Amino acid sequence: MKRHPSLVTLSHDHKRLLFACQYLKKDAAPYEGFPLETQARFEYIINLFQEVMVPHIQKEEYLFEKCLGKNAQIDQMISDLQQEHLAISRMYSALTESTDLDAAMHVLAVNLEAHIRKEEREFFELIQQQLPEMLDVLQLDNQ
């Protein structure tokens, strides 16, 4: 299904974050301009979380708030996604204390990737089908 215009910004963020997931995994392939040294990858994820992930989660939380109470299946999915947001945030916060930074970044990447795929393939599809009128008035770009 084509992405509703109000969700495009979130999908673009997801694309950027999915690249980061591939870059942070232990078996990351070399990407031009992206060093594979642990410290460089760590600095990349710190910057990405501050620049992209924090505002992205704020936009999603706004979306969740607007969708809550309109459909039981959507409500359950929102609850699950919010728990995943908390878990991902904890994994990110724990990076600075990790004794095996490569392993910790890999775990974060795997979990973040699964979360993004669930949002794109399940949640966005569901709200586009069940709540199209709500999406027509939603302005996520301003959040």
pLDDT, tens digit, for every residue of 78-111?
Answer: 999 999 999 999 999 999 999 999 999 999 999 9
pTM above 0.85, yes or no: yes
Give yes or no for residue 141 having a pLDDT over 60: no
Give the type of residue at 73.
Answer: Q
The backbone torsions φ and ψ at residue 15, rounded to the nearest 5 degrees and listed phi first, read -60, -45
Q: How far apart are CA 51 and CA 20, in angstroms?
A: 13
Q: How far apart are CA 3 and CA 120, in angstroms?
A: 9
Range of the domain at 42: 5-142
- How many structural domains does the chain have? 1
What was the pLDDT predicted at 142? 52
Give the type of residue at 102.
Answer: D
Distances (CA, A) of 76 to 27, 86, 123, 132: 34, 16, 10, 18
What was the pLDDT predicted at 82? 97
Mean local confidence (pLDDT), 122-135: 93
How is residue 34 annotated by DSSP? B
The single residue listed with the structure tokens 């980061």 is 20
Q: What is the pLDDT of residues 39-87, one digit of tens each?
A: 999 999 999 999 999 999 999 999 999 999 999 999 999 999 999 999 9
Give yes or no for residue 140 having a pLDDT over 70: no
17 contacts 9 by C-beta, under 8 angstroms: no
Q: Which residues pair with 34 in a beta bridge?
A: 31
